[in-house]
Copies of this chain bind each other. A is one copy, B any other.
Amino acid sequence: MGRLGEATLEFGLGVPLVAGAAVGGPTEGGGPLAADFDHLYDDLVMGQTSFELAEREMLKNACFTALQKAALTPADIDFVLSGDLLNQIISSSFTARDLAVPYLGLYTACATVCEGLTLGAVLVSGGFARKVLVACASHNCTAERQYRYPVEYGSQRRPYAQWTVTAAGAGVLAAAGEGPRVTHATVGRVLDMGVKDPYNQGAAMAPAAIDTLRRHLADTGRRPEDYDLIATGDLARFGKEMALTLAAKDAGLPLAGRYQDCGDLIFDQEHQDVHSGGSGAGCAAAVGFGHLLRRLQQGELRRLLLIATGALLSPTSFQQGENIPAIAHAVAIEA
């Protein structure tokens, strides 16, 4: 337990991820990972009176479902670590209010789920907590209206734009219990490659993903072949291609055959009109705590490296002419 190299935390035998849950919206339910969601909503309002409340409904549902699967109640949880894309992360704060559990709010955009898993594993393996709940959410309609245009406007979007996932994921880390274990975490640096197009976040985030991967492998002395799967968070189709190229050419790391991207996995790009593919804080969270955790639990995967990626812009920073810096946090989970 401690530190490896530059930026990697090592958790000894690992911190068990004793349960995870994923919930999603109608587009996610029409995608190839539908069977890996614990709950799918038929529409985007989810019985609420606003899209913001719908996002919160998903986050709460994911949290309570994960707790239920672990046979726990909120009172059993020491800390909830949560984040989302809404201004002032209100989905997380209001969900923490309803859970009534000590709360640490996090934000590194769509990389937040791995920031949560990192700090959750630190708290548990450091002996500061017995059980920690980690959660993230995003909703297509709240993100579109906050970052771009309300969906009701029907704005046309560039073909390489990503589609913010309507989903939430939550997981329970515990000091003891059964489940795949979080063994390592590599905390990302903020990289700025000069990208300015807010529709091209895959290009902004791909270099950060490969930077974190490279440092993770250097710190741990591992090779890509030590992982059955390396999954980035939400680079989507074009960002994923860029990551593969950067890994092979710049970092000398051939990833083909063992590399996927959650934003690419979650939709069927042949039959769903999602442009370049999925993004959003709920993307890596729902695919991670749903599909990928299930594959680890069923023995299909033995060692997973989840590299959640985040574009650290705001509408203000973009409108003021700033670049789009990006970050990626990696977490190794082993069955």
**Interfacial residues, chain A to chain B (CB-CB below 8 A):** 1-3, 6-7, 9, 50, 52-53, 78-79, 83, 85-90, 93-94, 96-97, 100-109, 115, 118-119, 122-123, 125-130, 146, 187-192, 312-317, 320, 322, 325, 327
Query: Could you give 28 example pairs across A and B, Cβ below 8 Å?
Result: A3-B129, A7-B78, A50-B320, A52-B316, A52-B317, A79-B187, A86-B314, A87-B87, A88-B107, A89-B107, A90-B316, A90-B322, A93-B108, A93-B312, A94-B317, A96-B190, A97-B190, A97-B191, A97-B312, A97-B325, A102-B189, A103-B108, A104-B119, A105-B107, A106-B107, A107-B107, A122-B128, A126-B126
A108 CA to B102 CA, complexed, in Å: 12
A101 and B189 in contact, given A106-B106, A107-B89 (Cβ under 8 angstroms): yes
Instruction: Establish whether residues B105 and A108, one from each chain, have CB atoms under 8 Å apart when the complex forms.
Output: yes
Query: Known contacts A102-B188, A119-B119; can you find 19 more A-B pairs with CB under 8 A?
Result: A1-B126, A3-B130, A6-B102, A7-B78, A7-B79, A87-B315, A88-B107, A88-B317, A90-B317, A90-B322, A94-B317, A96-B189, A96-B327, A100-B189, A104-B106, A104-B108, A122-B128, A126-B128, A146-B316
A303 CA to B291 CA, complexed, in Å: 49
A1 CA to B127 CA, complexed, in Å: 8
A115 CA to B119 CA, complexed, in Å: 12
A256 CA to B104 CA, complexed, in Å: 30
State how many angstroms separate the Cβ of A72 from the closest Cβ of chain B.
16
The residue that A3 contacts in the complex, of B9, B78, B315, with Cβ under 8 A, is B78
The residue that A103 contacts in the complex, of B2, B3, B50, B190, with Cβ under 8 A, is B190
